[in-house]
Structure 1
Amino acid sequence: MTPTMAGIALVVGLCVLLATGMPIAFALGLAALTGLLLDMGLDVIYVTAETMFAGIANLAYVAIPMFVLMGAIVAGTPAGGDLYRSLDRWLYKVPGGLVLSNIGACAIFSGMTGSSPATCAAIGKMGIPEMQKRGYPNSVATGSIAAGGTLGILIPPSVTMIVYGISTQTSIGRLFLAGVLPGLMLTAMFMAWALIDARRKGFHFRVEGLHYSWKEKFASLPRVLPLLLIIAGMLFVLYGGVATPSEAAGAGAFLTLVVVILVYRLYRIQPFIGIFGSAMRESVMIMMIMASAELFAFALSSLYITQSLAGAIAALEINRWALMGLINVFLLVSGMFLPPVAIIVMSAPLLFPIITQAGFDPYWFAVVLTINMEIGLITPPVGLNLFVINSIAPNVPTKEILWGALPYVLVMLLAILVLCVFPEIVTWLPEVVMGPAI
């Protein structure tokens, strides 16, 4: 069987397994195992466990469960509600202000988790019922949070940036810095669209008699500021070279735990059993996907699929921007079927030499890739954020969630175009803080 036919068979087999509803980690692993079994026979038994373990046996990956734990602590305690209510008090008079509050809360929460599903779940549990209560259409209430949740993998700290950095041997600190301005830009673009949409459709929806004094507005800040200071401090020690990503994540998770215990006087063990259990489940899910994706990537390499595809792309005598367009289409389509972590583990080592040879900055490409992954999170058939929101608001059909999120897909495509025209939005901050990339 030629590498092309083997690749097609492997991808088709993976799609069939995913269509059955099998968990993504198991589908990736089973498809890879089948391909390796046909190629290597029973000898595959000797390399399977070692390959999967090698895919996650990196100390830098310790940062992932720590960031997930930070998000679980905030989401599982009153801290998440305070964050949300604080923004609502400041924006409640703006047309569509509750949508802006939700997007802003998603952006801030992203800085605590690095996880899109965690951001969606935490803000969605509070934001969707409140918007429905105030009369917002279901599509607006759910779609805005599904899209806002995608900021979790762009605004640092970002789980996908950690995976990209390890897969391509690039600086994780520089990657985090590269995501700051694009993350803020995308948040502003989301808010701008929400404001335009609110004015166009006349969304005011303020509860009669609802009013917050300046005293009430400022009274909501003391409980939120310690968490924001933890994020700022964590990023400072990371970018200042004081700590590694794993050390910064561990310290951030510990300080977040201390803050919520002291501020909210949570001295009973019971709430934390659920918090740590939730963080453990999500962390294990992510690591299983990464291990299975590593096995899948090994299968692609063993069957010479990766090498053949790289050679075919390298042989294309086309303009570098046309090449980037093809890569973006590939990433968009892949993002519709696979989670970001799996795509990055499988594709980043393949695409990295191609984009650097074409003259593209690898940190700029990381941001473009991440925004592509964000689009995949809110587009079917997999669209993880759509299903997270659907589980929070089961009374809202998935079709309505999708229609509500669709305008934000167009905003993200516009953001990619802006970054193509002005790559300095990505590269400026890392160069100022850490100097030119070597």
Structure 2
Amino acid sequence: MDLTIAALLIGLMLLFLAGGLWIGLALIAVGVMGMLGFTPRSPGDGMAVTIWGSGSAWTLTALPLFLWMGEILFRTKLSEDMFKGLAPWLERLPGRLLHTNIIGCTLFAAVSGSSAATCATIGKIALPELTRRGYPESMALGTLAGAGTLGLLIPPSIIMIVYGVSADVSIAKLFIGGVLPGILLAALFMGWVVIWSLLNPEKIPPADIRTNLAGKLRASRHLIPVVLLIAGVLGSIYTGVATATEAAGIGVVGSLIISAAQRTLNRSNFIAALMGATRLYCMIALILAGSAFLTLAMGYIGLPRHLAAWIGTLGLSPGMLLVVLGIFYVVLGCFLDGISMVVLTMAVLLPTIQAAGIDPLWFGIFIVVVVEMAQITPPVGFNLFVLQGLTGRQITTIARYAMPYFMLMALAVVLLYAFPGLITWLPGKMIG
């Protein structure tokens, strides 16, 4: 009977989504039908209290602030300055300027919180330059598709905030827990570029000029704004000076200062950034509200408890459970965006994860890495859409270029499972 109810509700959800109904409204509709059909409770009071509670949570206030920070920086010259500051240091590294995609995405991810914004911002400045200098398209697009996903993992991450609110996990600890995995992934990507470049040296154009140490140091001044902003946001959280929400406020002030210093802070850009963040937050808030109500409805029906018990009867080890969930999320990512994937599944999966003895903090980073993998899988890989818009290339072509980075992310998941301290060590050292 429980499986029948679950199948019916999932079918309704897919029907609503296929019909073009907004995800948040689809979640609420399924919750209402579930409560009306399978519980004696009226959905009205529960809906009002749950939706209000989910929308007024203090921890959620970090989300619009980080979105606003990212929108402000998207309209500055920050990505162009990062390219200028990084390029001279990469002249002697195999792959040369291909690494600017990876390092640039890593740095911009630490101040944007969005995978699509990271991919688009770095792509706008890096792709024309790499094309002009004769770098192979497959590596230029592949590195950008793979490294662009770091916008989800390296804090501040929008999806980490969504997971933290959904799973009641400290957002500050999630942020700090994503630092080492993010560096690990960037190192894996750069390692692959080095290996590929050593195997195909004829495909990498020679350096135009050789910059001396003094020139490199002068170019590095372009990196000062982004480094200071990262230090202000993450440093304030790590040292206990600020909560995630307060750090988001620091980030907004810092981004406004950078925009003013670069003379890109004008009335039209300010309003565009504010409205862009507002629209995106309203979409996410509606999804979270719908998710909160659907969680309540499924709790009344008893589906999470029964599903957890059913999975327990399968006798899966924690490792096998994670393998199954990893495959499940990658497949789900072919049809849904990352935020929707998290809010749709947390209510059902969290009791199962806790019953298996898996740390919710570790699982949050695991989810983010797996969702990253889904960002470069067709047909609904958001980074693929971004790059298609920038280049006009077919999504299947870009997905093929991104395949090595998909495999490297799968390797990263294995490493995180083998060495969980990569996630939990830094949060354990946090002050306060």
TM-score over 0.5 (shorter chain): yes
Q: Which residue does the alignment assign to 1:192?
A: 191
SS at match of 2:430: helix
Which is further off, 202-211 or 6-15?
Answer: 202-211
AA of the residue aligned to 2:168 = Q
Q: Residue deviations 1:282-327, cap 9 Å, x none?
A: 2223223322333443444344332321221233333332233223
Q: Residue deviations 1:102-143, cap 9 Å, x none?
A: 111111111102221211121122222223333334333223
Q: Which residue does the alignment assign to 1:429?
A: 426
SS at match of 1:220: helix
Q: Which residue does the alignment assign to 1:135?
A: 134
Equivalent in 373, 376, 380 of residue 375 of structure 1: 373
Q: How does 1:99-118 map to 2 (within 5 A)?
A: 99-118=98-117
Contact 1:6 1:303 in 2 (8 A): no
Which is further off, 405-414 or 72-81?
Answer: 72-81
SS at match of 1:6: helix
Q: Which residue does the alignment assign to 2:217?
A: 218
Q: For 2:288 and 2:249, how far apart are their aligned partners in 1?
A: 21
Q: For 1:220 and 1:148, how far apart are their aligned partners in 2?
A: 23
Contact 1:177 1:429 in 2 (8 A): yes
Q: For 1:194 and 1:16, how far apart are their aligned partners in 2?
A: 43
Which is further off, 120-129 or 91-100?
Answer: 91-100
Q: Which residue does the alignment assign to 2:407?
A: 410
The alpha carbon displacement at 1:210 in A equals 4.6
1:269 to 2:267 alignment: yes
AA of the residue aligned to 1:133 = R
Q: For 1:105 and 1:203, how far apart are their aligned partners in 2?
A: 25
Contact 1:88 1:98 in 2 (8 A): yes
Equivalent in 381, 384, 390 of residue 382 of structure 2: 384
Q: Quote the RMSD (CA, aligned, Å).
A: 2.8
Q: For 2:368 and 2:24, how far apart are their aligned partners in 1?
A: 20
Q: For 1:46 and 1:223, how far apart are their aligned partners in 2?
A: 55
Q: Which residue does the alignment assign to 1:257?
A: 256
In structure 2, relative to structure 1, the CA distance for the partners of 1:97 and 1:209 (3 Å cut) is closer
Q: For 1:161 and 1:118, how far apart are their aligned partners in 2?
A: 16
Which is further off, 150-159 or 199-208?
Answer: 199-208
Contact 2:107 2:226 in 1 (8 A): no
Contact 1:95 1:204 in 2 (8 A): no
Equivalent in 276, 291, 294 of residue 292 of structure 2: 294
Which is further off, 96-105 or 82-91?
Answer: 82-91
Q: What number of residue pairs does the alignment pair up?
A: 432
Q: Residue deviations 1:316-374, cap 9 Å, x none?
A: 33333223322333333333333222333343344334333433333222221211111
Q: For 2:95 and 2:52, how far apart are their aligned partners in 1?
A: 48
AA of the residue aligned to 1:327 = L
Q: For 2:244 and 2:285, how far apart are their aligned partners in 1?
A: 17
Q: For 1:296 and 1:201, how far apart are their aligned partners in 2?
A: 52
In structure 2, relative to structure 1, the CA distance for the partners of 1:428 and 1:128 (3 Å cut) is same
Q: Which residue does the alignment assign to 1:172?
A: 171
In structure 2, relative to structure 1, the CA distance for the partners of 1:45 and 1:418 (3 Å cut) is same
The alpha carbon displacement at 1:226 in A equals 2.6
Q: Which residue does the alignment assign to 2:322?
A: 324
The alpha carbon displacement at 1:77 in A equals 1.0
Q: For 1:24 and 1:353, how far apart are their aligned partners in 2?
A: 23
The alpha carbon displacement at 1:189 in A equals 0.5
In structure 2, relative to structure 1, the CA distance for the partners of 1:13 and 1:125 (3 Å cut) is farther
AA of the residue aligned to 2:252 = A
Contact 2:151 2:157 in 1 (8 A): yes
The alpha carbon displacement at 1:186 in A equals 0.9
In structure 2, relative to structure 1, the CA distance for the partners of 1:179 and 1:268 (3 Å cut) is closer
AA of the residue aligned to 2:257 = V
The alpha carbon displacement at 1:64 in A equals 1.2
TM-score when scaled to structure 2? 0.89
Contact 1:63 1:247 in 2 (8 A): yes
Q: For 2:376 and 2:25, how far apart are their aligned partners in 1?
A: 22
1:160 to 2:159 alignment: yes
Q: How does 1:5-404 map to 2 (within 5 A)?
A: 5-19=4-18, 24-32=23-31, 35=34, 44=43, 47-48=46-47, 50-202=49-201, 204-206=203-205, 209-262=208-261, 264-266=262-264, 268-393=266-391, 395-404=392-401
The alpha carbon displacement at 1:43 in A equals 5.2
In structure 2, relative to structure 1, the CA distance for the partners of 1:285 and 1:432 (3 Å cut) is same
Structure 2 regions of 5+ residues with no counterpart?
none
In structure 2, relative to structure 1, the CA distance for the partners of 1:196 and 1:26 (3 Å cut) is farther
SS at match of 1:181: helix
Q: For 2:47 and 2:133, how far apart are their aligned partners in 1?
A: 53
In structure 2, relative to structure 1, the CA distance for the partners of 1:215 and 1:281 (3 Å cut) is farther
In structure 2, relative to structure 1, the CA distance for the partners of 1:95 and 1:355 (3 Å cut) is same
Q: Which residue does the alignment assign to 2:2?
A: 3
Which is further off, 395-404 or 237-246?
Answer: 237-246
AA of the residue aligned to 2:393 = V
Contact 2:308 2:355 in 1 (8 A): no
Contact 1:162 1:172 in 2 (8 A): yes
In structure 2, relative to structure 1, the CA distance for the partners of 1:134 and 1:9 (3 Å cut) is farther
In structure 2, relative to structure 1, the CA distance for the partners of 1:296 and 1:335 (3 Å cut) is farther
Contact 1:24 1:338 in 2 (8 A): no
Q: For 1:192 and 1:236, how far apart are their aligned partners in 2?
A: 28
Q: For 2:424 and 2:265, how far apart are their aligned partners in 1?
A: 45
